[in-house]
Amino acid sequence: MAPRSQRQKHKKPPSVAPMVVIPPTVVTPVPLNLSKPDPSIDALGFFSLDNNVPGLSQLILQNLNMKSYEEYKLVIDGGTPVAGFGFRCPQEMFQRMEDTFRFCAHCRALPSGLSDSKVLRHCKRCRNVYYCGPECQRSDWPAHRKVCQELHLVAVDRLMEWLLVTGDFVLPSGPWPWPAEVVQDWDAWFSMRGSQLEAAMNAVLGSQAMTTLWASVRRPRPDPDVLHGSLKRLLTDALSRPLTLGLGLRALGIDVRKAGGSTLHVIGASHVETFLVRPGDYDELGYMFPGHHGLRVIMVGVDVATDFLQSTSTSPLEPGAIQLSGHRGLYHDFWEEHVETEHLTHPDLVVAFHPGFHASVSLMEAWLPTLLLLRDYDIPTLITVYSQKELTASLQILVNLDIHIIAYGVNPFTSLKPEQVYSNPNKQPAYCNAYYIMFLGNTPAS
């Protein structure tokens, strides 16, 4: 792969609020002493559980009736039926996996390490943190009190999420009644959907599925306001990715009405973006751009689920159509095989949800050819990160690579659903797509 010899000048795209211009002196170089790549963020995340709680990854595999991570990965990829491990469906397997995260939040003791007289009991307020005894709970309270209320929301959302998976909670959908440029954040989106959203949530609250859910877990059913709040958070989690794609299209001034449709690449995709994805999950992206001539969304990554792998049609899209497809592999390899050979057109936008290249040297090595490719081919790109700390680290790496940062800031379409850090339960919960970075080409010469 060779970059183009002639580079085109690009006008500065319209600013996005909030937008921050980067002073050239605030970023220090990050050394790129790279080692052997391990591009699977799923694998790194799984085994990193042992860093805080030694033995946790093996306990998970044991409770899932699996002998190795490879067996777990085959199920996630869709290559092995879950029934072979004693589960009726993938959801039941994930529920068993979540139930595994029971260890003393203070001393990190696993159930197998407790004496016969001890048993792990959860915090009665949040139901998400466990202790082996009163002493550990009292000692841990100064740390736990800072996140207890937020973790209570996590516990409610975890149960309510089954209503999305089973289809009992259907997201409000359809053409936007407001002009798209008015809908700049979740507050505007909620106001726009208004009565439609209220009707959808009330229907779920009054359904037999809701009654069955809380009867099954044998817990008191929360007040309607609590359940309404949970449904709203789950809705933002489901729509955060398509609307963040829309944020990139809008902010980078990409014409979605060109003949033949527009192409978007979601790179570094894993089972998070592709497992159990349904055809209509990105419809809201289309409603964000009325009159678009077709949107082709191609997800590329080493952890793309098997059930999502499918060839991308090269024929022009019908106006208003959204096509989803997936390819497994590293993006720079995908580029050489499919884009450089002109089998597929150049993308109008590339998006990476939580690429994680700041987190480890091996991931950085896997991402480096892709980042250089995006830079040298002037591909408009947006990435998201979880936190201010990750934002700073990612900016350092990009600036060190002479990548031209256009804007960065708080994502107006971040997921509002808190995510518990299971291996470190008292860590502040994270929110998907909390911050964004947009970049295009090389840093202009001074």
Spell out the domains of the chain, with CATH numbers in brackets.
Answer: 43-156 (no CATH), 180-442 (3.40.50)
* pTM > 0.85: yes or no: no
Give the side-chain half-sphere CA count within 13 A for 436. 29
Contacts 24+ apart (CB under 8 A), 40-43: 40/302, 40/303, 41/268, 41/270, 41/303, 41/354, 41/355, 41/356, 41/363, 42/73, 42/76, 42/270, 42/271, 42/303, 43/69, 43/73
C-alpha to C-alpha distance for 188 and 211, rounded to whole angstroms: 31
Residue with more model confidence, 102 or 413: 413
Amino acid at 253: G
In this predicted structure, the answer to whether residue 137 has a pLDDT above a threshold of 70 is yes
- Give the mean pLDDT of 192-205: 93
Helix ranges restricted to H, 48-207: 49-52, 56-63, 69-76, 90-99, 134-144, 148-165, 186-205
pLDDT of residue 95: 57
76 vs 422: CA distance, rounded Å: 19
pLDDT value of residue 319:
92
Tens-digit pLDDT profile for residues 34-50: 333 345 556 666 666 66
Residue that the structure tokens 């009163």 belong to: 134
Tell me the C-alpha distance between 278 and 280, whole Å: 6
Both tokens assigned to 260: 């033949």
Average pLDDT over every residue of 349-365: 90
Q: Average per-residue pLDDT in the chain?
A: 82
pLDDT tens sequence across 298-340:
999 888 877 776 766 677 888 999 999 999 889 999 999 999 9
Given this model, what pLDDT does residue 360 score? 80
- pLDDT higher at 400 or 275: 400
Q: 343: Cβ–Cβ under 8 A, 6 or more apart, which residues? A: 314, 337
Task: Say if residue 223 is exposed, middle or buried (CB neighbours under 10 Å; 0-12, 13-18, 19+).
Answer: exposed
Whether the CB-CB separation of 97 and 60 falls below 8 Å is answered with yes
Say whether pLDDT at 446 is over 60: yes
81-128: per-residue pLDDT in tens? 666 656 666 556 555 555 556 889 998 888 878 877 788 888 988 888
On the question of pLDDT at 438 being above 70, the answer is yes
Q: What is the DSSP letter of 84?
A: G
Instruction: Identify the CA nearest to 93 among candidates 58, 69, 66.
Output: 66
Which pairs with CB-CB distance under 8 Å and at least 24 residues apart come from 211-215?
Answer: 213/159, 213/160, 213/162, 213/163, 214/159
pLDDT tens track for 206-261: 999 899 888 877 778 999 999 999 999 999 999 999 999 999 999 999 999 998 89
Whether the pLDDT of residue 406 is over 50: the answer is: yes
% residues pLDDT > 90 (the chain): 50
pLDDT at 407 over 80: yes
Provide the 3-class DSSP secondary structure of residue 171: coil
pLDDT of residue 393: 94
In contact, 285 and 248? CB cutoff 8 Å: no
Tokens linked to 248: 């990139």
Instruction: Look at phi and psi of residue 306 and say left if phi exceeds 0, alpha if psi is from -120 to 50, else beta.
Output: alpha
Instruction: For residues 74 and 414, give the distance between their C-alpha atoms in angstroms, rounded to a whole number.
Output: 30
